[in-house]
Amino acid sequence: MVLFVASDCWNRHPRWGERVTTVSFVVYVTAVMWLCLTPAHFSFLSAPKALFYFHGVPFNAIPFQGFSPEFFLNIVMTFPLGVYIFLFNYRTPFERAILYGLCFSLFIEINQFVWDYFLNLQRLADIDDLITNTLGAVIGFSLMIILYQNGWRKFLQRFMLTRAEIC
């Protein structure tokens, strides 16, 4: 499936930079979904959290109960999303970029909760993840704006999509 989508993206965008952007986006989203929506065999939790349970499915609704490597890894994981938001449309308003990051993160957290409910994936829907994932996308988008306005415009334009469609 990933190869089919990547191939379709490749054919829709004739410019080399656009191809790199679209195909790497497909690979990125696939990797994030694999990391977040497959059974968890490890945990970065170092501080205990007060969890709530819904029919045996744990979730954290209280933000910032403790910091762990997971906090920073979530920012790193969604940093590329902010980069892609910029490359897909550099005129995206900042508020909309925040909304895109929030929706992407909400999609992940809701799916983790639902799939854990049905399949017991040992995943935790976490408000901290929602916040840090959104923050990662915002940081990525902000960095792209700074680079674009400070001498990197020509380089970045090679990778920006000229059409409104991703694939």
Q: What is the pLDDT of residues 12-60, one digit of tens each?
A: 656 889 889 999 999 999 999 999 988 876 666 556 677 777 888 888 8
Q: What is the pLDDT of residues 65-85, one digit of tens each?
A: 877 788 899 999 999 999 999
Domains of the chain, by residue range, sit at 2-40+69-157
- Quick one: what percent of the chain has pLDDT higher than 70? 83
Per-residue pLDDT, averaged over 102-129, amounts to: 91
DSSP structure string for 78-142: HHHHHHHHHHH-TT--HHHHHHHHHHHHHHHHHHHHHHHHHH-----EEHHHHHHHHHHHHHHHH
